[in-house]
């Protein structure tokens, strides 16, 4: 009997070990497949981040680097630009476009790849490194160059100031209210993720920088905030206009695709972002829309009806600014983020104090009709009055902030006032908050006084 039991135990152990061997074998095959997939994935990531891919894309769009200016008919048919060449600094350090012909310059001083960080005092803003670049001659197709340079402007703040102001003053306050919230959150999340991932812009060379902005020396590339915002806003407009207006759905599909692709691809054409930066920006935008769109009506209710909102809103904005990932050295994107959050704070406070406008209370869908000459004239007047409110406000608040803040805030040994974060950050928030309040709260009241109100 005991022998039978022993044999059974041996058989069970053998069967169990065999099953274990099968399981471990399958796990090994699975791990090998995963390793192969990981290697393939990393290869795709490396390809999408490769600056040589950016350069090849630029060349297909007609961008060429010449050693000398061409003459004759070819020069007349193409656009020849002289630009400072760039080195392989990780953030794509660039020089200002300041020459129109080849000029001899000293050899550029290069730093090894890596984020440019200076040893500075706690309150000091890092200054650009002293780099002198040799000049190069860049040849482009004029129409292609003009198109993408125009498209990339659709991702900068001046365009959104005009666009959002026009939405509020002339078109639809509901669409404006949601759009300004999504714009600010897109910019904030995109800028913050850059400092989380810390992935550099395409090195140049091999990429060719066709846009010269000094602050890009201190900004990472992934994800592209241009791609994030140019995906968020068109898709939101497609979503909201489909539910609020008649007969615009297919038109908005075309506009959304054109807007998103043109702005995103322009950053590759200009040599400022890789394909991976663009894809990352689009993914961030889609995730954000999936989360926020179901909550947008609840946000409206909270902004309009919570009586302590004027107290809570500044606390939320200050918390977002405090949570923003900070580098060792000051970077310009932190100041830009403060300006964005200041704009959002001013917009939220103005929306709360205004309360719902008449078009906020109508469910829609609304018919779409061509504007009359009278409505176009009144719209132009409202835009002019709004602009005349916003920009003097910026000038006055900047003057007051730089007059009083340096006396209140510690300097940390920094002599230049505009290089003190404890001065620059409050200035950005206060100034842009005031501009938003002027545009959104004071603007409609000025329209009523001038008898040009929409309502």
DSSP bridge partners of 65 = 138
Contact in structure between 348 and 300 (CB atoms under 8 Å): no
More confident call, 257 vs 68: 257
Mean predicted confidence (pLDDT) in 362-373? 76
More confident call, 425 vs 86: 425
Q: Per-residue pLDDT for 348 more than 50?
A: yes
Helix 296-305 / helix 173-197 crossing angle, nearest 10 deg: 110
Q: Is 226 a catalytic residue?
A: yes
Mean predicted confidence (pLDDT) in 122-126? 42
Torsion of CA 246, 170, 432, 256, to 10 degrees: 30
pTM for the model stands at: 0.76
Q: For the chain, how many helices (H) and strands (E)?
A: 15, 3
> What pLDDT, on the 0 to 100 scale, is given for residue 141?
83
Q: Is 273 a catalytic residue?
A: yes
Contact in structure between 218 and 91 (CB atoms under 8 Å): yes
Q: Which of 17-26, 52-61, 202-211 has the lowest mean pLDDT?
A: 17-26
**C-alpha pair distances (Å), 373 with each of 117, 293, 369, 377, 382:** 56, 35, 13, 6, 14
Single out the catalytic residue among 242, 273, 352, 412: 273
> What pLDDT, on the 0 to 100 scale, is given for residue 61?
86
Burial of 156 (0-12, 13-18, 19+ CB in 10 A): middle
Which of 428, 260, 401, 268 has the alpha carbon at shortest distance from 333? 428
| Averaged pLDDT score across all residues of the chain | 76
Q: Per-residue pLDDT for 94 more than 80?
A: no
Put the strands of the sheet holding 79-84 in their side by side order.
64-66, 135-140, 79-84
- Please provide residue 205's backbone torsions phi and psi, each rounded to the nearest 5 degrees: -70, 165
User: pLDDT tens digit string along 138-186?
Assistant: 778 889 888 999 999 888 878 888 888 888 888 888 889 999 999 999 9
Single out the catalytic residue among 178, 226, 301, 412: 226
Mean predicted confidence (pLDDT) in 450-454? 84
Which of 59, 63, 47, 36 has the alpha carbon at shortest distance from 136? 63
Q: How far apart are CA 346 and CA 348, in angstroms?
A: 6
Q: Per-residue pLDDT for 301 more than 50?
A: yes
> Where does the pLDDT of residue 451 fall: very low under 50, low under 70, confident under 90, or very high at 90 and above?
confident
Mean predicted confidence (pLDDT) in 343-372? 81
> What is the β-pairing status of strands 79-84 and 135-140?
antiparallel
Q: Per-residue pLDDT for 116 more than 80?
A: no
> What pLDDT, on the 0 to 100 scale, is given for residue 189?
92
User: pLDDT tens digit string along 307-326?
Assistant: 899 999 999 999 998 888 87
């Amino acid at each position: 009997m005991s022998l039978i039991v022993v044999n059974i135990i041996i058989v069970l152990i053998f069967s169990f070990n065999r099953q274990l061997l099968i399981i471990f074998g399958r796990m090994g095959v699975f791990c090998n497949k995963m390793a192969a997939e990981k290697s393939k994935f990393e290869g795709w990531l490396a390809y999408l981040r490769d600056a040589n891919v950016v350069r090849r894309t630029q060349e297909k769009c007609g961008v060429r680097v010449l050693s000398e200016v061409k003459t004759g008919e070819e020069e007349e048919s193409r656009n020849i630009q002289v630009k400072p060449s760039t080195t392989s600094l990780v953030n794509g350090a660039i020089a200002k476009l300041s020459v129109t012909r080849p000029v001899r310059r000293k050899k550029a001083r290069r730093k090894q790849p890596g984020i440019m960080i200076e040893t500075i005092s706690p309150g000091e803003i890092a200054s650009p490194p002293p780099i002198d670049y040799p000049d190069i001659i860049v040849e482009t197709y004029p129409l292609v160059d003009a198109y993408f340079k125009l498209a990339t402007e659709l991702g900068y703040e001046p365009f959104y100031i005009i666009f959002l102001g026009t939405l509020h003053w002339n078109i639809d306050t509901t669409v404006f209210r949601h759009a300004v919230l999504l714009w600010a959150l897109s910019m904030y999340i995109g800028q913050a993720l850059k400092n989380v991932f810390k992935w550099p812009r395409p090195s140049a060379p091999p990429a060719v920088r066709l846009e010269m902005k000094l602050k890009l020396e201190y900004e990472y590339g992934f994800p592209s905030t241009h791609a994030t915002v140019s995906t968020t806003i068109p898709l939101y407009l497609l979503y909201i206009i489909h539910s609020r207006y008649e007969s615009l759905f297919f038109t908005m599909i075309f506009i959304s695709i054109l807007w998103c692709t043109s702005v995103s691809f322009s950053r590759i054409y200009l040599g400022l972002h890789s394909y991976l930066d663009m894809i990352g920006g689009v993914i961030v935008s889609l995730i954000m829309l999936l989360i926020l769109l179901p909550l947008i009506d609840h946000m409206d209710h909270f902004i309009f009806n919570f009586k302590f909102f004027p107290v809570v809103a500044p606390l939320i904005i200050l918390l977002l600014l405090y949570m923003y990932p900070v580098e060792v050295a000051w970077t310009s994107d932190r100041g830009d983020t403060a300006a964005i959050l200041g704009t959002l704070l001013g917009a939220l406070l103005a929306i709360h104090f205004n309360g719902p406008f008449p078009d906020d209370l109508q469910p829609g869908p609304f018919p779409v009709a061509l504007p009359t000459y009278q409505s176009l004239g009144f719209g132009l007047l409202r835009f002019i009055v709004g602009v005349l409110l916003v920009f003097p406000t910026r000038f006055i608040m900047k003057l007051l902030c730089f007059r009083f803040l340096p006396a209140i805030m510690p300097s940390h040994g920094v002599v230049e006032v505009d290089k003190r974060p404890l001065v620059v950050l409050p200035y950005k928030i206060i100034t842009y908050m005031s501009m938003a309040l002027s545009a959104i709260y004071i603007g409609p009241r000025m329209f009523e006084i001038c008898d040009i109100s929409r309502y």
